[in-house]
Structure 1
Amino acid sequence: MSLETLSTISPTTNSAVITRQALPPQEIERLPAIGQEAFASYRKSHPTLGSRQEVVAKALDLLSRRKDVLAKELTEQMGRPIAYTGIEIDTTVKRGQYLNRIAGEVLSEDVPGDPEKGFRRFIRREPVGVVLIIFAWNYPYLILINSLLPALLAGNTVILKPSPQTPTIVEHMSEIFTEAGLPKNVLQYFHCGSPSHVELIVRSPQINHICFTGSVAGGLAVQKAAADRIVNVGLELGGKDPAYVRPDVEPHWAASEIIDGAIFNSGQSCCAIERVYVHNDIYEPFINACKATLSKYKVGDPMDKSTQIGPVISTRAKETIRSQIDEALKAGAKDETPPNSSFENLPQQGNFIKPTLLTHVNHSMSIMQDETFGPVIPIMSVPSDTAAVKYMNDSQFGLTASIWTKDVGVGEELAGKVEAGTVFVNRSDFPSPDLAWTGWKDSGKGVTLSRFGFEQFVKLKSFHLKDYPGR
């Protein structure tokens, strides 16, 4: 049987930059059993959390040392400008160090606060077994570290399935952790392009937990494949994250922050700002400030250190974004993108699209309802705080949301009414490692980051010990 060849297509040139051989189905089916064998040996070779923390610390140090090489690969494979890809590696290391640091407290035994003479009761956290992590291309190191480190620190073994768009991430991480002292087969990976082949491993009874980061459709497919057995599935899915600008803010400050939150990484973030509601009283000044901000951005070759916005990931993504924009314009929206030479002279090759400022949108438009995953800023005028919150909640998604105001107390009050897993006041697009990262509605289920991000990788075991009579 010939092996399937997976090609990574550069979003900058639309030509293949790397190829990998997909693992045959029969080999994919063997991975969980290998993982179970490694799980038994891992518990013996690294029985203490301290020994596992030592491996993680060494791995993070090695990851940091390879930043320049890894950053260049990210730019080549997914198109984010080289000025920013190294920051992902730095942030990954810092996030990993935080998770490693809190593991001792988080994974320790819980002892009830009402001891009784002659009895000892406590709750121990045990590893679940073999963890399957399927993760996306847009922030691959950050997404991966959220699940990989808690899983390993808790004592589990892990199987990784990367996006074909960024296939080398798993190869680097495997090499790094091996060099750091992780035993053989504790961390495995496979390349695969066929959903039916991924389904084989999802259905395996030797997989004890599944983490998926990607589209809603992909998450539903994984959940469906796992539905005929008892296994936990954590889903980090899409977003249509709203921002509300109150009339008390300084327009240029709010515009610069919101534009950055909307179009950084070409808008390809699950927590990017994808719809903006602006109070009537500040609407025109805010639009003018957005124009002034956008006019200074540079779209271009992502290998150029002065480039701020690179291509979107694929021709299909480019067409989807353009379709949403065209639909909105036909329905009455206005394209108020300012003059900008880099927007008007996009590279001829690749999937480049100009950051687009849309005004006069309404809430029935696809651009305000469906995930865009591109550099588009649709702005809608609203008459009040109450109306803004109503529109913010009128969505199938609930990942993050932001309120922009001088009055932080009012901002907090409004944020409390918004249906989202993370709410910001005067900030956006920032998964803080000490806060729970979780989606509401169709944005997912389960938690990563913070102390709560470890819970999916352990099962609780209660001990109730009574002294022997007569002792």
Structure 2
Amino acid sequence: MLTTISPITNQPLIDTPEATIETAKAAIDAAATAQVSWVKLSLGERKQKVAKLLDVLEADADSLGKQITEQMGRPIQYTPGEVKTAAMRGRVMLGYADEALARRDVDLDARPAITKYLTKEPIGVALIIFPWNYPYLCLVNGLVPALLAGNTVIIKPSPQTPQVAEAVVSAAAKAGIPNAVISAIHTGDNKLVEQIIQNRSIGAVAFTGSVAGGLAVQKAAAGRTIPVALELGGNDAAYVRADADIDATAENVVDGALFNSGQSCCSIERVYVDEKIYDKFVDAAVKVVKGYKVGDPLSGKVQLGPMVSAASAARVSKDVEEAIKSGAKAHITPGLDLGPTYLYPQVLTDLSPQDRVLKTETFGPVLPIVKVSGDEEAIKLMNDDDFGLTASVWTSDCTRGDEIASQIEAGTVFVNRSDYPDPHLAWTGYKLSGRGVSLSPFGFDFWVKVKSHHVKTAA
């Protein structure tokens, strides 16, 4: 039995039956059988059923949002929006399906008796391993294109958010999607996950989570030739130029760093500010952070709830304490102790380049701010990192901002915004942030095999 601990109370919340190798194999076998019929439906028929699935989820956004809050702690004023945004993303992918999955005719041969064309075939049974921090958003990125391409899908949620998987399976049934086209396997056993990946019926694996988890998935698949997509961590940087609107930028950068208590792969983890406006920006950022309220995420009156676990809160606190011991200045005085899972946001300056809050993904409500001499130093420091998920440049000169952004080693670069995966654009990471693409028309490519056809119609 898997027990989910409530981050709100730090007490047991949900008990979920854990899969065994036997039940996992049965689920995979059922998915393989269901795929034979699912792929025979026309793309239009699959689109109708997936669209209905998204409608069912969106209609229940308030209830599902409350479940998210209870399971992982994000304030309830935000969580229904995740379900609605997931539905919106899915509909964008529905709109790209015809183009992305279309047959492509090739007319390069002068001989009329030879027909050449390309088709995109499903990979079969897909495995999607998705995290707790944005469970619906991370799941829909792969689930929708995988289904539209004709695959059946095994979904493995984090043990922290098991109800998400159950809600999606239930919604699929209500949408008229046949049994076993989407099925859930619940486990916290890494060995069982490895065995699932090595099952010959699994045709592809998409993983969203930590670097360690992603590398373990990659290792598990090493003996096979199946595709593996990894959307891993980030240590995303923001650069505030001297010409930026200080107050507006401070508000947006703080939101990009602290939303979801900083538990976002694409949250702003480090901020580089031009020395000409550094002091004013720090003051503005501190003012914004002091306005954030931490507390019960079910109250609807707070911006920050608890961290996902007491262990996560302790880890982030340790990183902050180590930075302070090495000379960093903390600008926020924590409020009353709300319990072991709650963590007040912090702004840090006067940091050492080797502080963990700068060199690693903090994954918590911490805003490290570093002074730089200008564009050249900012670009160098932003790229001096093992991750490359997103980066942002804040400036009144958008042309120059885009020139700087183009030099940043990251899969997504922003000018005057942050922390927003647009479903019309590819979502991908450089370096240790992963490999593979989700969203946009390119988001279908992972879920298909390309087949080349040569048809000689006459001698």
Give the TM-score range, shorter chain: over 0.9
* Residue 16 (structure 2) aligns with: 20
Secondary structure of the structure 1 residue equivalent to 2:266: coil
Q: Distance in 2 between matches of 1:158 and 1:118?
A: 40
Q: Distance in 1 between matches of 2:340 and 2:313?
A: 10
Q: Distance in 2 between matches of 1:43 and 1:222?
A: 27
Task: Name the amino acid aligned to 1:43.
Answer: V
Contact 1:12/1:350 (<8 A) preserved: no
Task: List runs of 5+ in structure 1 lacking aligned partners.
Answer: none
Contact 1:74/1:166 (<8 A) preserved: yes
* Residue 94 (structure 2) aligns with: 100
* 1:240 paired to 2:235: yes
CA-CA distance at 1:188 after TM superposition: 1.2
Q: For structure 1, which segment, 266-275 or 24-33, has the greater mean C-alpha deviation from structure 2 after superposition?
A: 24-33
Contact 1:13/1:350 (<8 A) preserved: no
Q: Where in structure 2 are the equivalents of 1:237-276 lying within 5 Å? A: 237-276=232-271
* Residue 275 (structure 2) aligns with: 280
CA-CA distance at 1:105 after TM superposition: 1.1
Question: What do the CA deviations read for 1:254-297 (whole angstroms, capped 9, x no partner)?
Answer: 10000000000000000000000001001000001011111211
Match 1:345 to one of 329, 336, 339: 336
What is the count of residue pairs matched by the alignment? 458
Task: Name the amino acid aligned to 1:163.
Answer: S
Q: Where in structure 2 are the equivalents of 1:71-220 lying within 5 Å? A: 71-112=65-106, 114=108, 116=110, 117-220=112-215
Q: Distance in 2 between matches of 1:418 and 1:114?
A: 39
Contact 2:10/2:341 (<8 A) preserved: yes
Question: What do the CA deviations read for 1:122-154 (whole angstroms, capped 9, x no partner)?
Answer: 110000101001110000000000000000000
Q: Distance in 1 between matches of 2:276 and 2:129?
A: 45
Secondary structure of the structure 2 residue equivalent to 1:381: strand
CA-CA distance at 1:198 after TM superposition: 1.0
Q: Where in structure 2 are the equivalents of 1:22-41 lying within 5 Å? A: 22-41=18-37
Match 1:446 to one of 428, 436, 450: 436
Task: Name the amino acid aligned to 2:373.
Answer: P
* Residue 217 (structure 2) aligns with: 222
Match 2:364 to one of 370, 374, 379: 374
Secondary structure of the structure 2 residue equivalent to 1:281: coil
Q: Distance in 2 between matches of 1:146 and 1:267?
A: 21
* Residue 331 (structure 1) aligns with: 326
Match 2:56 to one of 46, 54, 62: 62
* Residue 404 (structure 2) aligns with: 414
Question: What do the CA deviations read for 1:35-66 (whole angstroms, capped 9, x no partner)?
Answer: 2111112223x2x1000000011111111111
Structure-2-length-normalised TM-score? 0.98
Secondary structure of the structure 2 residue equivalent to 1:80: coil
* 1:295 paired to 2:295: no
Task: Name the amino acid aligned to 1:81.
Answer: P
Task: List runs of 5+ in structure 2 lacking aligned partners.
Answer: none
Task: Name the amino acid aligned to 1:238.
Answer: G
Secondary structure of the structure 2 residue equivalent to 1:344: coil
* Residue 42 (structure 1) aligns with: 38
Q: Where in structure 2 are the equivalents of 1:428-447 lying within 5 Å? A: 428-447=418-437
* Residue 355 (structure 2) aligns with: 365
Q: For structure 1, which segment, 434-443 or 110-119, has the greater mean C-alpha deviation from structure 2 after superposition?
A: 110-119
Q: Distance in 2 between matches of 1:114 and 1:202?
A: 40
Contact 1:28/1:200 (<8 A) preserved: no
Task: Name the amino acid aligned to 1:257.
Answer: N
* Residue 456 (structure 2) aligns with: 466
Task: Name the amino acid aligned to 1:106.
Answer: A
Structure-1-length-normalised TM-score? 0.95
CA-CA distance at 1:113 after TM superposition: 5.4
Question: What do the CA deviations read for 1:179-234 (whole angstroms, capped 9, x no partner)?
Answer: 11111111111111111111110111111000111100000011101101111110
- Find runs of 4+ consecutive structure 1 residues off by over 3 angstroms: 113-116
CA-CA distance at 1:384 after TM superposition: 1.6
* Residue 10 (structure 1) aligns with: 6
Match 1:392 to one of 382, 390, 393: 382
* 1:401 paired to 2:391: yes
Q: Distance in 2 between matches of 1:43 and 1:98?
A: 21
CA-CA distance at 1:119 after TM superposition: 2.6
Task: Name the amino acid aligned to 1:314.
Answer: S
Contact 1:392/1:418 (<8 A) preserved: yes
Contact 1:362/1:380 (<8 A) preserved: no
